[in-house]
Structure 1
Amino acid sequence: MAAPCYLGWDFSTQQLKVIAIDEQLRVVYEDNVHFDKDLPEFKTQGGVYIHSDRLTVTSPVLMWVKALDMILEKMKSSGFNFCQVRALSGAGQQHGSVYWKKGSIQILKNASSKLPLHQSLKACFSVSNSPIWMDSSTASQCSALEKAVGGAQHLASVTGSRAYERFTGNQIAKIYSQNPEVYMQTERISLVSSFAASLFLGAYAPIDYSDGSGMNLLQIWEKVWSVSCLNACAPGLEEKLGCPVPSHSVLGPISPYYSQRYGFSPDCKIVAFTGDNPASLAGMRLQEGDIAISLGTSDTLFLWIQEPTPALEGHILCNPVDSQTYMALLCFKNGSLMRERIRDDCASGSWDEFSKALSSTVAGNNGNLGFYFDVMEITPEAVGIHRFNRDNQKVSDFPKEVEIRALIEGQFMAKRIHAEKLGYKVNSAAPKARLI
């Protein structure tokens, strides 16, 4: 009998990744599909569409489904033994939303194993391009939500965050206000994480507490939807969201589609998917007091916390590992894509050259400092490239090696400053910080 293994999936911004581990947590398989490179027909850049207003950012839902088809076929061709998989779970980029058209549940449930899944589901989405975490086009909806519930601080006290443009409740409110007929045609709204779980489950997967607390809709203390927040966003929203569940919930067995097409065991269990940031906390095995910094498409700083105090800056989410505790999170939109652009501009696209240039300059950069925001930043709200010399005078450019250090130091100084504003103590006596 084949040795048991477990699959982990990551539906991230730029790619779909899969990893298989055995019962000793050893990696036995891994692969990925890069959206821009492997699915060029969708014409994404960095896995997304940046619309003409520069505020609206979306990704095509069917690209995610087709990527899943592609990676499963790659696994099959490599001889991967699907019947040994006992359970699978995963993560999705936070805040993105998927809109299932009325009647889609039957198509999802009865998908023919003779067809790739994306062919069966091609007419299932009332919104073909999903709003994602990079979107910042919902300022009016955020203002309306905060006003409806008694102010930004009250909203943060209830849901863990003040109203943020990328948060799902505000994205839903925008769709309802601009396309009410599309909203009315929608029978279920998923997060990217619960959408991914739904593909494997063959049914609508519930939203988990942890990813659900990044929507401006969930009461993080009671773990139920806030009626006042729902009503402020769109009518009949609770029915379209379903009931949230703990992040470690076993949702049910895998859809027969996967048993018939790939040879999965019918007993393979689907565990609730969660957001990429909560998944990072779980995967890092953080404990109370640890600080982790994730250097991804967006950079995030997060930690385990027992007694949070939600504030106007940063976020408090339900802890994915322990439903009775919480995680604090700061998110910075200009992460790896910003670093990659400076690498391309200043180091010929080479990380080795980038690192050598960084090492050639001194800590503190002789007083030269830069703030680099290609897109509207989350914390703080700012955009553009801003360079200052040692005399605090704004300058138009830096030498290449100075530019590279200014970028890296500026990004990490911002993380520290905003973390300390939330009460984090970053000093030599503090618990260890981990880079992932």
Structure 2
Amino acid sequence: MGRGRLRKLKTPIGSEPTSRSEDASGGLEASQLKVIAVNEQLRVTYEENVHFDNDLPEFRTQGGVYVHSDRLTVTSPVLMWVKALDVILEKMKSSGFNFSQVKALSGAGQQHGSVYWKEGAHHILKNLSPDLPLHQSLKACFSVSDSPIWMDSSTASQCFSLEKAVGGAQQLANITGSRAYERFTGNQIAKIYSQNPEVYIQTERIALVSSFAASLFLGDYAPIDYSDGSGMNLLQICDKRWSATCLNACAPGLEEKLGHTVPSSSVLGSIAPYYIQRYGFSPDCKVVAFTGDNPASLAGMRLEEGDIAVSLGTSDTLFLWIQEPMPATEGHILCNPVDSRAYMALLCFKNGSLMRERIRDDCASGSWDEFSKALTSTVTGNNGNLGFYFDVMEITPEAVGIHRFNKDNNKVPDFPKEVEIRALIEGQFMAKRIHAEKLGYKIMPKTRILATGGASHNKEILQVLSDVFNTPVYTIDTANSACLGCAYRAIHGLVAETSVSLADVVKLAPAPRLVVTPAAGADEVYLPLLKRYAELEQKVLYNPTSSS
């Protein structure tokens, strides 16, 4: 899963006709902390950021992280995150930002990062002096000074042990929504306990980056929300409780250190007195549960039941709204941050835009115009020619290399240039549909695809996407989508108990723009092709023992 954010400040609707109402939202990514403010019309009225490398050079990070000598261990200094919050709040204060107008705040943190509060830290957190910046008050509060983050891949042995403890990778996915991943928090905790048991014993609370950030605003330990909590290999996604088997496989006494979990729309309490006294926040300002960056993006893109978001970038990523999940050993099932009765799924494909650019260069003289003309000059279904294009080892499926098959399922060494281009694009989108449906996704009459990323500007590519999924494709501005998602969630948190949906809350937000609809008859062409593609995919899976 991707990077994360500290997200959101949200301002109150004023009681006087002349008062302004805003929502503010902030985000803690791997490389920076962002904040935005949004008014009652959901218009962004304020933006600011702190870039870790440039604005906090004393921490000597690169891209906001430390890559350790083994090249597998990747961490970020906790105090850098705390100091970044100090810096951004002071910037807001200097600019004249009216903190008293903030009615609620929420946020997001990079998923899979974890923070380890030392024994005694709770007392300090609850009694912060408004005369001191946060980083000075909290500098001795962490038993692990450098937090493991989503880029870490040093826990292979812990992943093996966790899967073995529950009966295998598929069983772990059935319980937690994902097989064991090295970046997932349960495995990171197991590594700390194994290598530094005394540090683990000295830790009184383990937080995700999201709940850690919420704790700073709350002045108390904030609970982990269901959605971010389901990216830990520890939470039972069906009943949203910690799995005793998974906890025990990672470390003793872990449930007490994690605390309880809460719905993502929960109001955790009022903002801490520290912020009232130091910055002028209203005592009535509420803190809504923080979540991970991917769930926050789902909220920011305003996905609804049946929708798909497709990000077409360096890696292609699918966000799916799912009612009846079918966890698998590929992809991730998370609790839905918008509707506690639903789920979200996440699929990532490494061979995205770089693969498209390579075929463009090879087959269309480096021109997107020629590439698009090739797509329109070839027929839907490519006369049965199918291709698999993986310049780097793919995640889903686990395969590498270029594999071409003719209409008779015979492997061939090459295609004509126009056929190659269509085979690439059709293959990429058929793989997305096949693996989405493996996780339980079902195309519905009201399904929309919301496309973002570089390739979403190419109408011919989007036409193939629409045809393969047999559903209309819209584009949406997703700049700051996770930040905006938290602003929307902050508003939603204030009214969630009255059964108001997030869709009702964000009616004033700009609507997605319809770009293409499925061509007539496309579904009849692709349904048999999808079956063939899934069968051929099994023939190209990576086999380290194969001589071919």
> Smaller-chain TM-score range?
0.7 to 0.9
Residue 190 in structure 1 maps to residue 207 in structure 2: yes
Is the Cα–Cα contact under 8 Å of residues 8 and 19 in structure 1 kept in the other structure? Answer: yes
Q: Which residue of 2 aligns with 1:359?
A: 368
Q: Which residue of 1 aligns with 2:341?
A: 324
Distance of 2:34 and 2:430 partners within structure 1:
30
* Match of residue 431, structure 2, among 417, 422, 426: 417
User: How much has 1:381 moved relative to structure 2?
Assistant: 6.2
* Match of residue 119, structure 1, among 136, 143, 150: 136
Q: Which residue of 2 aligns with 1:429?
A: 470
Per the alignment, do residues 433 and 162 of structure 1 end up closer, same or farther by CA in structure 2, a change over 3 Å counting?
farther
User: How much has 1:124 moved relative to structure 2?
Assistant: 0.9
User: How much has 1:179 moved relative to structure 2?
Assistant: 0.8
Per the alignment, do residues 269 and 103 of structure 1 end up closer, same or farther by CA in structure 2, a change over 3 Å counting?
same
Is the Cα–Cα contact under 8 Å of residues 111 and 257 in structure 1 kept in the other structure? Answer: yes
**AA of the residue aligned to 1:317:** L
Per the alignment, do residues 35 and 412 of structure 1 end up closer, same or farther by CA in structure 2, a change over 3 Å counting?
farther
* Match of residue 209, structure 1, among 226, 232, 244: 226
**AA of the residue aligned to 1:417:** A
Residue 253 in structure 1 maps to residue 294 in structure 2: no
Is the Cα–Cα contact under 8 Å of residues 292 and 434 in structure 1 kept in the other structure? Answer: no
Per the alignment, do residues 35 and 371 of structure 1 end up closer, same or farther by CA in structure 2, a change over 3 Å counting?
farther
Q: Which residue of 2 aligns with 1:18?
A: 35
Is the Cα–Cα contact under 8 Å of residues 13 and 297 in structure 1 kept in the other structure? Answer: no
Distance of 1:52 and 1:140 partners within structure 2:
19
User: How much has 1:63 moved relative to structure 2?
Assistant: 1.1
Residue 137 in structure 1 maps to residue 154 in structure 2: yes
Seq. identity, %: 72
* Match of residue 180, structure 2, among 159, 163, 182: 163
Per the alignment, do residues 428 and 209 of structure 1 end up closer, same or farther by CA in structure 2, a change over 3 Å counting?
closer
Per the alignment, do residues 38 and 419 of structure 1 end up closer, same or farther by CA in structure 2, a change over 3 Å counting?
farther
Over aligned residues, Cα RMSD in angstroms? 3.3
Q: Which residue of 2 aligns with 1:345?
A: none
User: How much has 1:413 moved relative to structure 2?
Assistant: 6.0
Distance of 1:388 and 1:114 partners within structure 2:
64
* Match of residue 82, structure 1, among 95, 99, 120: 99
Q: Deviations over 1:329-352 (max 9, x none)?
A: 11357999x89xx9xxxxxxxxxx
Q: Which residue of 2 aligns with 1:264?
A: 281
Distance of 1:41 and 1:225 partners within structure 2:
38
Is the Cα–Cα contact under 8 Å of residues 332 and 377 in structure 1 kept in the other structure? Answer: yes
Moved more, 189-198 or 298-307: 298-307
Residue 98 in structure 1 maps to residue 115 in structure 2: yes
Distance of 2:141 and 2:279 partners within structure 1:
23
Distance of 1:333 and 1:230 partners within structure 2:
31
Question: Larger relative CO (CA 8 A, sep 6+): 1 or 2?
Answer: 2
Distance of 1:368 and 1:360 partners within structure 2:
22
TM-score (norm 2): 0.67
Secondary structure of residue in 1 paired with 2:262 = coil
Moved more, 35-44 or 180-189: 35-44
Moved more, 265-274 or 419-428: 419-428
Is the Cα–Cα contact under 8 Å of residues 114 and 207 in structure 2 kept in the other structure? Answer: yes
User: How much has 1:428 moved relative to structure 2?
Assistant: 4.8
Residue 54 in structure 1 maps to residue 54 in structure 2: no
Per the alignment, do residues 79 and 298 of structure 1 end up closer, same or farther by CA in structure 2, a change over 3 Å counting?
farther
Is the Cα–Cα contact under 8 Å of residues 433 and 469 in structure 2 kept in the other structure? Answer: no
**AA of the residue aligned to 2:270:** P
Secondary structure of residue in 1 paired with 2:103 = strand
Per the alignment, do residues 413 and 368 of structure 1 end up closer, same or farther by CA in structure 2, a change over 3 Å counting?
closer
Per the alignment, do residues 303 and 179 of structure 1 end up closer, same or farther by CA in structure 2, a change over 3 Å counting?
same
User: How much has 1:200 moved relative to structure 2?
Assistant: 0.4
Per the alignment, do residues 136 and 392 of structure 1 end up closer, same or farther by CA in structure 2, a change over 3 Å counting?
farther
Is the Cα–Cα contact under 8 Å of residues 313 and 422 in structure 1 kept in the other structure? Answer: no
Q: Which residue of 2 aligns with 1:290?
A: 307
Per the alignment, do residues 262 and 357 of structure 1 end up closer, same or farther by CA in structure 2, a change over 3 Å counting?
farther
User: How much has 1:184 moved relative to structure 2?
Assistant: 0.7
Q: Which residue of 2 aligns with 1:240?
A: 257
User: How much has 1:252 moved relative to structure 2?
Assistant: 0.3
Secondary structure of residue in 2 paired with 1:362 = helix
Q: Which residue of 2 aligns with 1:353?
A: none
Secondary structure of residue in 1 paired with 2:228 = helix
Is the Cα–Cα contact under 8 Å of residues 333 and 377 in structure 1 kept in the other structure? Answer: yes
Q: Which residue of 2 aligns with 1:274?
A: 291
Per the alignment, do residues 368 and 420 of structure 1 end up closer, same or farther by CA in structure 2, a change over 3 Å counting?
closer
**AA of the residue aligned to 1:139:** A
Q: Which one has the largest radius of gyration? A: 2
Distance of 2:232 and 2:201 partners within structure 1:
20
Per the alignment, do residues 252 and 298 of structure 1 end up closer, same or farther by CA in structure 2, a change over 3 Å counting?
farther
User: How much has 1:419 moved relative to structure 2?
Assistant: 4.8
Distance of 1:293 and 1:54 partners within structure 2:
31
Per the alignment, do residues 428 and 73 of structure 1 end up closer, same or farther by CA in structure 2, a change over 3 Å counting?
same
User: How much has 1:377 moved relative to structure 2?
Assistant: 7.1
Per the alignment, do residues 282 and 218 of structure 1 end up closer, same or farther by CA in structure 2, a change over 3 Å counting?
same
User: How much has 1:276 moved relative to structure 2?
Assistant: 0.7
User: How much has 1:289 moved relative to structure 2?
Assistant: 2.0
Structure 2: 5+ residue stretches without partners: 1-15, 358-364, 376-385, 405-410, 415-420, 444-464, 479-548
Moved more, 143-152 or 299-308: 299-308
Secondary structure of residue in 1 paired with 2:371 = coil
User: How much has 1:60 moved relative to structure 2?
Assistant: 1.1
Q: Deviations over 1:222-277 (max 9, x none)?
A: 11000000000100000000000000000000011111111111111000001111
Is the Cα–Cα contact under 8 Å of residues 290 and 432 in structure 1 kept in the other structure? Answer: no
Q: Deviations over 1:28-54 (max 9, x none)?
A: 111111112222222222221122222
Distance of 1:74 and 1:413 partners within structure 2:
48
**AA of the residue aligned to 1:156:** A
Distance of 1:55 and 1:410 partners within structure 2:
32
**AA of the residue aligned to 1:140:** S
Per the alignment, do residues 63 and 160 of structure 1 end up closer, same or farther by CA in structure 2, a change over 3 Å counting?
same
**AA of the residue aligned to 1:283:** G
Per the alignment, do residues 25 and 135 of structure 1 end up closer, same or farther by CA in structure 2, a change over 3 Å counting?
same
User: How much has 1:432 moved relative to structure 2?
Assistant: 3.2
Q: Deviations over 1:375-403 (max 9, x none)?
A: x97556689xx7999x9989xxxxxxxxx
**AA of the residue aligned to 2:371:** V
Structure 1: 5+ residue stretches without partners: 343-355, 395-405
Q: Deviations over 1:3-30 (max 9, x none)?
A: 2322222111121111111112111111
User: How much has 1:369 moved relative to structure 2?
Assistant: 9.2
Per the alignment, do residues 433 and 416 of structure 1 end up closer, same or farther by CA in structure 2, a change over 3 Å counting?
farther
TM-score (norm 1): 0.84
Moved more, 51-60 or 80-89: 51-60
Moved more, 243-252 or 322-331: 322-331
